Amino acid sequence: MSAPSGDHAAALAALASELGADAVREAGPGDLVDGVAPFAVVRPADAEQARRAVAIAVRGGIALVASGLGRHLSIGAPPRHLGLLLRMDRVDRVVEHHAADMTVTVEAGCTLAALDERLRRAGQWLPLDPPAPAETTVGGLVAANLAGPLRASQGGVRDLLLGIETVSGEGVVVRGGGRVVKNVAGYDLPRLHVGALGSLGVVLAATFKTVPVPPGEGAVEVEVASPREACDLALALRDAFEPAWLELVAEAGGPATRVVFGCAGLPPEVACGLLRARTETEARGHRAVEVEDATALRARLAEFPLREAAAILRVSTLPDRTGLALESLARAARDCGVRAPLSAQVASGIARAAIADAVAVAPVLRALRARREDPDAAVVVERASAEVKPRLVGDADPWGDPGESLALVRGVKRALDPGGILSPGRLPGGV
Amino acid sequence: MATGILARRLRALVGDDGVVDADDVLLVYECDGYTLERAAPELVVLPRTPAETAAVVRLLAEERVAFVPRGAGTGLSGGTLPLAAPVMVCTSRLREIESIDLRNRRLVAQAGVVNSWVTRAVQGDRLLYAPDPSSQTACTIGGNVAENSGGPHTLKYGVTVNHVLGVELVLPSGEVVRLGGAVEDRPGPDLVGFVVGSEGTLGITTRATLRLVRAPEAVRTLLAIFDSVDAASEAVSDVIASGIVPAALEMMDRLVLQAVEQAFSAGFPADAGAVLLVELDGPAAGLEEQAEAVSAVCRRNGSREIRVARDEAERALLWKARKRAFGAVGRLAPNYCTQDGVVPRSRLPEIVRAIAATAERHRLRIGNLLHAGDGNIHPVILFDERDADEVRRVIEAGHEILAACVALGGSLSGEHGIGVEKIGQMPLLFSPDDLLAMTRLKAVFDPEGRANPHKVVPDAKVCVEARAPRRQAAM
Ligand SMILES: Cc1cc2nc3c(=O)[nH]c(=O)nc-3n(C[C@H](O)[C@H](O)[C@H](O)COP(=O)(O)OP(=O)(O)OC[C@H]3O[C@@H](n4cnc5c(N)ncnc54)[C@H](O)[C@@H]3O)c2cc1C
């Protein structure tokens, strides 16, 4: 890595003097974002230091990427420029959990595991179960719009986020929403940041709805012959009893697909759900096996996007086409001669494949997009290793067609980050 | 362009009956459900289709004319009051439910579809559209999207934004953009979430893709009668704390109860201080236990009587009384004004006491209807618009109540929006930097400021002239 240029040296000096020398260091080989090297890593001690760090970057026109513990930095297109990596993991207070109001305000660097530990003391939780909760921070949760199996019944980040505090691309603190569960005062800034990969503001803190932890959880598994049959069965189970989660698991190459149906609630509700699922399954000539530890299985299923793989491809589609999406993913992988475990969340219409081989990612992606079996589906590279990212150009762009909202997204970006210093280039359409 | 020429060109687009320019008919449009301020537009245009709507907006763009969107006009914050906007574009004739996808639980409705029509279209298939404002037999999907409307059952099911997956928006330039859609999780920032609740200031919604939910298998509705609002509020906190999430948890105070009783004879005791209407729903298994747990909590907090609706007819009567309570209260005085504020749910007793103090200070009668489970309060202020001094006190009392909500950690609006009514109070909640960000975001969609000007975000440049055309009711 080259030595810091003049601007960089000035910024480093400013950061060290304003934040303290221990909050800043020169970047090393472990600090790359999609293979792009920052010149320094800043680890502010609190929200005010984070704001100052951004303000210094603004003054120097230095691009930055905010991160928590770095576990989800492989999401998105590579940053177009990068000067600072802003590590938010020390800004990690649970500001306040109002159990009686069922809301929690928490700083961006707090991990989901730490938050969960705190909320459970009051019998509550934030019902979002993305992979690696011990390494996933609240800021990453919001910015990358992470979710897990529970999404089927609890909604995603956008459904639970009540308020947000950010630093804009001008180094200014901007808040939106609030701390109450129902609120329509002003434009909905919180939702704008969901899935924006930190490109519209660095998240300092967020307020969420919390809910009571359901007292019971149970699940059954069914093995069927094909993804499409699995999808049909899953929808029938959904109609028989509203599941807490509903997943499909398969392997490209092997046609068999497992349907996993989970339910949660009071013990009689869980018992009723499992009974109905079994009855429905047997009526269709399959066998339902009760899962011993449903909660543990759900946590394992949630880990799918972080499997050891060169890339995770994702197809977003309608619930009843998730079987088709899995088959397309399997076929594309097979045609390119690569192994690909598959998983799907039927209720939200998400199908994923973990592509093992770096060289195969772009060809599989192109094959999927070229065939366009499902015109409404969005085919994206959800995550990819730094080795893969440079290959994802042209018709293998990680996001694909940015769609007709691109001009608005560009405008929104300019409104909140006029200098283009926050995660530049990471969103669809190079925004 | 002169109004006459504009009217002619608009008629060419939407048909003769699609433009209103006669003064007496325009009066119909001089206010929505917020009646304290009135101003009639110069023209009202009623396109019949999304395409006609876009054509109308393109013409307005060519002529640089500002406009205000309107649905059914049931809004309660003056969102449809034309301020420096000569033309009102009313989407109430876009009445088609365009597609229903039962398997995927999606429905595409045009903006003028009335809220309750959506559920009616799918209830035979045991699905429903969850957001259920009390105005649901009149208000439109376009208005619901604009206000991010809620309703009693949003405690468990969420508000409009949780059930809108896509919108088609005619930008003020006349360009049409489709945001989101039937497929969830499109990459990039959540613009659908941003447009929902934007009160018609970013453009005109012509279509929305809605999420349907499964109708509950079983329902238990109970009414708990209390001697005081305080006791009922404590019961609300305890129900929430018990880990049960009711589908609805509504409160009515004495004044409202008396009005409702006069109007519907629903059987509420006239001397009760407050009642809670609690609805639990879900699979039949476990529901009885939850109902018992709720009853126990209410009794522990001094409820003197608990009634359980024995059948659908009894349930319907309880809900009818609740949903028409505004109207019932309205019969007690020549005019009434419904306020909308939010507090953290544990602060309900405090806000209700603050409201009582405000009523006393301003010599007003104020009843309370509360979406108590959400901390969303609806004080109903009674008045006579012929009494100018009383009108002034109503406005002041409203502002005081909202300021009290904010001071308790709450918000200016839970579901009725900012409109014109609360725009002056936005700085209580947001810093100048927050408001500047909102102003800039509005400009992304509406660089010329022609879509519903002077709403939601206070504009430093609003001059007295711009607001001149409206008149205060009877002042
Ligand atoms: C008796 C009564 C009870 C009510 N109960 C509730 C309740 O329980 N919960 C609740 O949330 N609200 C309630 N409301 C308020 C009101 O009904 C809602 O705000 C409703 O969503 C407004 O719909 P509308 O079609 O009447 O819209 P309008 O009043 O016509 O318009 C409201 C706002 O939406 C904008 N708008 C309308 N259509 C469009 C469009 N197509 N595109 C862009 N902008 C548009 C307007 O410019 C305006 O800013 C109640 C009102 C009354 C009178």
Domain of B243: which CATH number? 3.30.70.2190
Residue A175: the pLDDT is: 97
Question: Are B431 and A408 inside 8 Å of each other by CB?
Answer: no
Please give chain A's pLDDT, 431 residues, in tens.
344 566 889 999 999 999 999 999 999 999 999 999 999 999 999 999 999 999 999 999 999 999 999 999 999 999 999 999 999 999 999 999 999 899 999 999 999 999 999 999 999 999 999 999 999 999 999 999 999 999 999 999 999 999 999 999 999 999 999 999 999 999 999 999 999 999 999 999 999 999 999 999 999 999 999 999 999 999 999 999 999 999 999 987 666 899 999 999 989 999 999 999 999 999 999 999 999 999 999 999 999 999 999 999 999 999 999 999 999 999 999 999 998 999 999 999 999 999 999 999 999 999 999 987 788 899 999 999 999 999 999 999 999 999 899 999 999 999 999 999 999 999 999 99
Read off the amino acid at residue A299. A
Question: Are B415 and A175 inside 8 Å of each other by CB?
Answer: no
Q: Pick left, alpha or beta for residue B427 (phi over 0 → left; psi -120 to 50 → alpha; otherwise beta).
A: alpha
Do B105 and B206 fall within a single domain? yes
Residue B460: the pLDDT is: 59
Phi/psi for B333 (5° steps) reads: -150, 165
**Residue B46 within a domain:** yes
pTM: 0.96
Residue written as tokens 């447009």?
Answer: B195
Q: Which of A203, A183, A189 is CA-nearest to residue B431? A: A189
- B79 CA → ligand 1 middle, Å: 8
Tell me if ipTM is over 0.90.
yes
- Residue where a domain stops, chosen among B327, B361, B381: B327
Q: Which residues contact A380 (CB under 8 A, 6 or more apart)?
A: A313, A314, A316, A398, A399, A400, B187
Do B208 and B102 fall within a single domain? yes
Retrieve residue B234's tokens: 């404590």
- Residue where a domain stops, chosen among B327, B359, B392: B327
Do B102 and B199 fall within a single domain? yes
Number of domains composing chain B: 4
**Residue B446 within a domain:** no
A133 burial (CB, 10 Å; 0-12 / 13-18 / 19+) is buried
Residue written as tokens 């109207």?
Answer: B327
Q: State the CATH number of the domain containing residue B148.
A: 3.30.465.10
Closest Cα in chain A to B194: A188
Q: Could you say which DSSP state residue A3 is in? A: P
A283 burial (CB, 10 Å; 0-12 / 13-18 / 19+) is exposed
Closest Cα in chain B to A216: B286
Q: Which residues pair with B178 in a beta bridge?
A: B168
Read off the amino acid at residue A428. P
Whether ligand 1 lies within 6 angstroms of the CB of B32 is answered as: yes
- A327 CA → ligand 1 middle, Å: 44
B11 burial (CB, 10 Å; 0-12 / 13-18 / 19+) is middle
- Write the pLDDT tens digit of every residue in A175-192: 999 999 999 999 999 999
B275–chain A nearest CA distance, Å: 21
Residue A382: the pLDDT is: 96
Query: How wide is the angle at C-alpha B147 spanned by C-alphas B142 and B152, nearest 5°?
Result: 105
Do B128 and B223 fall within a single domain? no
Retrieve residue B337's tokens: 């004004």
Please give chain B's pLDDT, 475 residues, in tens.
788 999 999 999 999 999 999 999 999 999 999 999 999 999 999 999 999 999 999 999 999 999 999 999 999 999 999 999 999 999 999 999 999 999 999 999 999 999 999 999 999 999 999 999 999 999 999 999 999 999 999 999 999 999 999 999 999 999 999 999 999 988 889 999 999 999 999 999 999 999 999 999 999 999 999 999 999 999 998 998 888 889 999 999 999 999 998 888 878 887 899 999 999 999 888 899 999 999 999 999 999 999 999 999 999 988 988 888 888 898 899 999 999 999 999 899 899 999 999 999 999 999 999 999 999 999 999 999 999 999 999 999 999 999 999 999 999 999 999 999 999 999 999 999 999 999 999 999 999 999 999 999 997 554 333 333 333 333 2
Element (H, E) at B70: strand B67-70
Q: State the CATH number of the domain containing residue B82.
A: 3.30.43.10
Residue B324: the pLDDT is: 86
CA dihedral B452, B457, B459, B460 (to 10 degrees): 170
3-state secondary structure of A136: coil
Query: How wide is the angle at C-alpha A154 spanned by C-alphas A145 and A76, nearest 5°?
Result: 10
Question: Are A187 and B194 inside 8 Å of each other by CB?
Answer: yes
Retrieve residue A223's tokens: 């093995």
**Residue B450 within a domain:** no
Please report the domains of chain A, with CATH numbers, ordered by start residue: 6-87 (3.30.43.10), 94-212 (3.30.465.10), 216-302 (3.30.70.2750), 304-396 (3.30.70)
CB A388 within 8 A of CB A310: yes
Residue B186: the pLDDT is: 86
Retrieve residue B47's tokens: 């396109």
The Cα–Cα gap between A66 and B382 comes to 52
- Write the pLDDT tens digit of every residue in A262-272: 999 989 999 99
Give the nearest partner residue to B345 out of A100, A318, A431, using CB atoms.
A100
- Write the pLDDT tens digit of every residue in A148-162: 999 999 999 999 999
Q: State the CATH number of the domain containing residue B375.
A: 3.30.70.2740
- Residue where a domain stops, chosen among B90, B113, B145: B90
The Cα–Cα gap between B203 and B79 comes to 13
Do B102 and B209 fall within a single domain? yes
Read off the amino acid at residue B110. Q
Length of chain B: 475
Do B156 and B50 fall within a single domain? no
Question: Are B188 and A408 inside 8 Å of each other by CB?
Answer: no
The Cα–Cα gap between B361 and A84 comes to 57
Do B122 and B197 fall within a single domain? yes
Q: Which residues contact A28 (CB under 8 A, 6 or more apart)?
A: none
- B161 CA → ligand 1 middle, Å: 14
Phi/psi for B308 (5° steps) reads: -110, 130
What's the first-to-final CA gap in chain B, in angstroms?
A: 32
The Cα–Cα gap between A202 and A200 comes to 7
Whether ligand 1 lies within 6 angstroms of the CB of B150 is answered as: yes
| Domain region containing B200 | 97-214
The Cα–Cα gap between A287 and A42 comes to 54
Retrieve residue A108's tokens: 């961006």
**Residue B460 within a domain:** no
